[in-house]
Amino acid sequence: MKKQFLEHKTEINSIVDKLRNNQISIFCGAGAVADFTNTTWDHLFDSKIDLNGLKEDSFYKLASYCELHMGRSALEEMVTSSFGKVPTEKSYSNHIKNILELPITEFWTTNYDEVIESMIKNQTGFIPSVIYNSENLIKIKENKKYKVFKLNGSTTDSKSMIITEADYNNYIHNQQLLFEQLKKELILKSFLFIGYSFSDRLVLDCLSEIINSFKTSSSIHYRIVKKDDEHKDYQKTNEKYFEKFYNIKTIYVDSYEEIDELLKYIYELYKKKNIFISGSFRNLSSSKEEDRANNLCKLLVEMLIDEGYNIYTGDGKRLGSYIISNATKKLYEMDSMYMHNKLKVMPYIDHTFKKKEANDPERVNYIQKMIKDCSVGIFLYGQSESNGVSNGVMTEFREAEKKGLKIVPISSTGFAAEEIQNIFESENRIPSYLERYSDILKNKNSDEEKIVETVKSILMDINKMSIII
């Protein structure tokens, strides 16, 4: 059955484009971690106070009722204990796990719990900066990859939590700087709202002010909503309301579980423009062959950049310098503030690796990190110190295959690239996207321009291949 979110390909493609330019932030509501916490505000308050069937959308008001009923200290204890569960390697939120696959380093949330920051640490190994009040804003200057902005405070500091209506009404005054930081980010980036009901006015008031100030250039934002077939007319009107007044477009899913499939789909689309280039050489047969290698690298990276691809490389022996220097020169000439996203270099070979085998776990771990976000691996040369096939390049090939990358060996360059082509042929498994191009890539008389045009055609064919959901 076709997934509901596939009806929103325009919005999804826009999100992917913005991901590539570092223009997306994630905003998580309680629903984004409910698959782990198993706690909702309705159930939490219903267990403490009899509302006689009263339907109240504002959890701030419900919390105010509870405060009057049980006192502030008991209310804080109830919230802290209810949301104090911390993820482990075996128990976690699938939604957050899939979000962390995306190239996003800035998270905003109204949640009190520690799910996001704990999963960042568990899944990436990085300790994020956690900012939950205006005083914490100084942490923006910390040299940390991830930042988590917790607008309603944190269970780690119960006095910081914005729980009741009175807390919320004092919020803008007490946390004005944090509020202004949110406005700034809503101006500079597009937000993807996950599990957030907008039942408070926090974000909507910010967006209203921004739209009134920037009438023609406000950012477009996106929210994920479960499709409600029983109230189609209302939901359609609600969709128009959010788009007209707040520049928030809606992406529907059939179920909350489908959110994970949507996030995986976005990630696969993001990877389609990321190319891993592997190769090395020590001593080519002549200076003419070295000139050919440099020109091939130059034409290849220029084509990739012109076609909107991002280049990932591990700085392979000598060939890596050709890739990096030619790509850097091309990018330097471009008028783009996002050129740093176009070339990602992860040099994993240093003097400590000289005595280690190509399949050493530490080396393999670096390779896996390098290729994680790529969809295609292009292999050139791959010459060992003994003028044979480089074990290091072959290890990269095997790891790339394991991760599902489409492999493109430029076999006319010889060594590991030729060995990869030989493996495909001897095992009778030449990929379909290579079948009609193999003769050109194998022909040692093919000039560099012809080879690069052929690689361009192969990439076009690969991109036409559908992503399976």
Domain ranges of the chain: 4-269, 272-464
Residue 53 has pLDDT above 80, yes or no: no
One DSSP character per residue, 283-315 reads --S-HHHHHHHHHHHHHHHHHHHHTT-EEEE--
Q: pLDDT tens for residues 215-230?
A: 777 799 999 999 999 9
Q: Residue 166 in contact with residue 64, Cβ under 8 Å?
A: yes
Which residues have a Cβ under 8 Å from the Cβ of 66 and sit 6 or more positions away?
Answer: 45, 48, 49, 75, 78
Measured distance CA(262)–CA(265) in Å, rounded: 5
- The whole-number pLDDT of residue 21 equals 87
Residue 468 has pLDDT above 70, yes or no: no
- The whole-number pLDDT of residue 56 equals 59
Q: pLDDT tens for residues 319-329?
A: 888 999 999 99
- The whole-number pLDDT of residue 445 equals 92
Measured over the CA atoms of residue 91, residue 94, residue 96 and residue 98, the dihedral's sign is positive
- The whole-number pLDDT of residue 415 equals 96
Measured distance CA(305)–CA(95) in Å, rounded: 32
- The whole-number pLDDT of residue 469 equals 62
Q: pLDDT tens for residues 251-283?
A: 999 999 999 999 999 999 999 999 999 998 888
Q: Residue 94 in contact with residue 122, Cβ under 8 Å?
A: no
- The whole-number pLDDT of residue 458 equals 98
CB-side exposure of 417: number of CA atoms within 13 Å? Answer: 25
- The whole-number pLDDT of residue 42 equals 64
Give the least confident one: 12-16, 73-77, 184-188, 314-318: 314-318
- The whole-number pLDDT of residue 442 equals 96
- The whole-number pLDDT of residue 50 equals 63
- The whole-number pLDDT of residue 422 equals 97
Mean pLDDT of 20-45: 85
Relative to beta strand 310-313, strand 376-381 is unpaired
Mean pLDDT of 202-218: 87
Q: Pick the most confident of 170-174, 184-188, 201-205.
A: 184-188
| pLDDT tier, 427 (very low <50, low <70, confident <90, very high otherwise) | very high
Specify whether domain 272-464 bears CATH 3.40.50.450.
yes
Measured distance CA(259)–CA(226) in Å, rounded: 9
Nearest to 390 by CA among 409, 366, 374: 409
Is 433 or 2 the better-scoring residue by pLDDT? 433
Residue 310 has pLDDT above 90, yes or no: yes
One DSSP character per residue, 25-85 reads EEEE-GGGTHHHH---HHHHHHTTS--TT-----HHHHHHHHHHHH-HHHHHHHHHHHT--
Q: pLDDT tens for residues 346-372?
A: 765 555 555 667 788 888 888 999 999
| pLDDT tier, 337 (very low <50, low <70, confident <90, very high otherwise) | low
Q: pLDDT tens for residues 93-125?
A: 999 999 999 999 999 999 999 999 999 999 999
Relative to beta strand 147-150, strand 129-131 is parallel
Mean pLDDT of the chain: 90
Is 182 or 88 the better-scoring residue by pLDDT? 182
Q: pLDDT tens for residues 289-305?
A: 889 999 999 999 999 99
Q: pLDDT tens for residues 127-181?
A: 999 999 999 999 998 989 999 999 999 999 988 999 999 998 888 788 889 989 9
Q: Edge to edge, what strands does the sheet with 310-313 contain?
A: 343-345, 310-313, 274-280, 376-381, 406-409
Mean pLDDT of 66-81: 89
| pLDDT tier, 46 (very low <50, low <70, confident <90, very high otherwise) | low
| pLDDT tier, 416 (very low <50, low <70, confident <90, very high otherwise) | very high
- The whole-number pLDDT of residue 237 equals 97
> Percentage helix, strand, coil, to 5, in the chain?
50, 15, 35
Q: Residue 252 in contact with residue 8, Cβ under 8 Å?
A: yes
- The whole-number pLDDT of residue 47 equals 63
Which residues have a Cβ under 8 Å from the Cβ of 444 and sit 6 or more positions away?
Answer: 412
- The whole-number pLDDT of residue 385 equals 86
- The one-letter code for the residue type at 149 is F
